[in-house]
Amino acid sequence: MPRRGALPLLLLAVGCAAGLGIRELNGLVARGEFAQAAVRVEGAKDSYGAKNALLFELDRAFLLQLAGDWAMSNTVFEQAKRTAKDLFTKSVTAEASTFLVSDNMRPYYGEDFERALIHVFCAVNYTLLGQPAEALVECRQVDFYLKTLQADFGRKNAHTEDAFARYLAGLLYEDAGETNDAYISFFKALEAYDGYAKKYKTPRPEGLVVDALRTAKALGFRDEMADIKNRWGDAPAVRGPQQGELILLDYNGFAPQKMDSFFEISVTNGWVYVDQLKAGSEEDAKVDEARAVLRGIAADKMIRLAVPVYQDTPYTVRGVRVSAGGAQAVGTLVEDVGAIAKQNLKDRIGRTRAKAIARAVVKYLITQKVSEKVEKKNNGGAGRLVKALLQAAVAMTETADKRSWRTLPDQILMARLPLPPGAHDVTVDFLNGSGGVARTAALPGVKIAAGKRTYAMVRSAE
How do residues 334-353 score in pLDDT, each as one tens digit? 999 999 999 999 988 888 88
Work out the mean pLDDT of the chain and round it to a whole number. Answer: 85
What string of H, E and C letters represents the secondary structure of the chain? Answer: CCCCCHHHHHHHHHHCCCCCCHHHHHHHHHCCCHHHHHHHHHHCHHHHCHHHHHHHHHHHHHHHHHCCCHHHHHHHHHHHHHHHHHHHHHHHHHHHHCCCCCHHHCCCCCCHHHHHHHHHHHHHHHHHCCCHHHHHHHHHHHHHHHHHHHHHCCCCCCCCCCHHHHHHHHHHHHHCCCHHHHHHHHHHHHHHHHHHHHHHCCCCCCCHHHHHHHHHHHCCCHHHHHHHHHHHCCCCCCCCCCCEEEEEEEEECCCCEEEEEEEEEEHHHHHHHHHHCCCCHHHHHHHHHHHHHHCCCCCCCEEEEEEEEEECCCCCCCEEEEEECCEEEECEEEECHHHHHHHHHHHHHHHHHHHHHHHHHHHHHHHHHHHHHHHHHCCHHHHHHHHHHHHHHHHHHCCCCCCCCCCCCCEEEEEEEEECCEEEEEEEEEECCCCCEEEEEEEEEEEECCCCEEEEEEEECC
Range of the domain at 225: 161-171+188-238
Per-residue pLDDT averaged across 54-61, rounded? 97
Instruction: Note the pLDDT of residue 88.
Output: 82
> Which position has the higher pLDDT, 365 or 245?
245
**φ/ψ (deg, to 5) at 369:** -65, -45
Rounded CA-CA distance 163/191 in Å is 8
> Does residue 165 share a domain with residue 123?
no
Instruction: Note the pLDDT of residue 99.
Output: 64
Instruction: Note the pLDDT of residue 370.
Output: 54
Within 8 A by CB and 6+ apart from 272, the residues are none
> Does residue 232 share a domain with residue 117?
no
> Which position has the higher pLDDT, 3 or 26?
26
> Does residue 167 share a domain with residue 138?
no
Whether residue 233 is contained in a domain is answered as: yes
Instruction: Note the pLDDT of residue 154.
Output: 54
pLDDT digit string (tens) for 409-451?
999 999 999 999 999 999 999 999 999 999 999 999 999 999 9
Whether residue 181 is contained in a domain is answered as: no
Whether residue 223 is contained in a domain is answered as: yes
Instruction: Note the pLDDT of residue 219.
Output: 98
Whether residue 152 is contained in a domain is answered as: yes
Instruction: Note the pLDDT of residue 392.
Output: 53
Per the document, the length of the chain is 462
User: Helix 34-43 to helix 53-66 angle, to the nearest 10 degrees?
Assistant: 160
Per-residue pLDDT averaged across 182-209, rounded? 96
Cα 191 → chain centroid: 22
Whether residue 308 is contained in a domain is answered as: no
Per-residue pLDDT averaged across 126-149, rounded? 95
> Does residue 48 share a domain with residue 149?
yes
Instruction: Note the pLDDT of residue 15.
Output: 35
> Does residue 140 share a domain with residue 35?
yes
> Does residue 98 share a domain with residue 230?
no
**φ/ψ (deg, to 5) at 408:** -65, 150
Least confident of 107-111, 224-228, 238-242, 289-293: 289-293
> Does residue 140 share a domain with residue 84?
yes
pLDDT digit string (tens) for 246-279?
999 999 999 999 998 988 888 778 877 877 766 5
> Does residue 165 share a domain with residue 119?
no
CA geometry: angle at 275 spanning 272 and 277, to 5°? 115
Phi/psi class of residue 19: alpha, beta or left (left: φ > 0; alpha: ψ in -120 to 50)? left
Whether residue 141 is contained in a domain is answered as: yes
> Cα dihedral sign for 212, 216, 218, 223?
negative
With contact defined as beta carbons under 8 Å apart, do 76 and 64 qualify?
yes
Instruction: Note the pLDDT of residue 365.
Output: 77
Instruction: Note the pLDDT of residue 12.
Output: 30
Which of 174, 249, 250 minimizes the C-alpha distance to 210? 174
Rounded CA-CA distance 113/17 in Å is 28
Show which of 200, 215, 238 is a domain's final residue: 238
Identity of the residue numbered 401: D
Q: Would the pTM of this model clear 0.85, i.e. be above it?
A: yes
> Does residue 225 share a domain with residue 105?
no
> Does residue 125 share a domain with residue 70?
yes
Least confident of 162-176, 184-198, 264-278: 264-278
Q: What is the CATH number of the domain that holds 26?
A: 1.25.40
> Does residue 102 share a domain with residue 114?
yes
* Count of domains forming the chain: 2
Whether residue 110 is contained in a domain is answered as: yes
pLDDT digit string (tens) for 351-378?
888 888 888 888 777 777 655 555 555 5
Whether residue 407 is contained in a domain is answered as: no
Instruction: Note the pLDDT of residue 151.
Output: 78
Share of the chain above pLDDT 70, in %: 81
pLDDT at 124 over 90: yes
pLDDT digit string (tens) for 388-415?
555 555 555 567 889 999 999 999 999 9
> Does residue 153 share a domain with residue 22?
yes
With contact defined as beta carbons under 8 Å apart, do 216 and 224 qualify?
yes
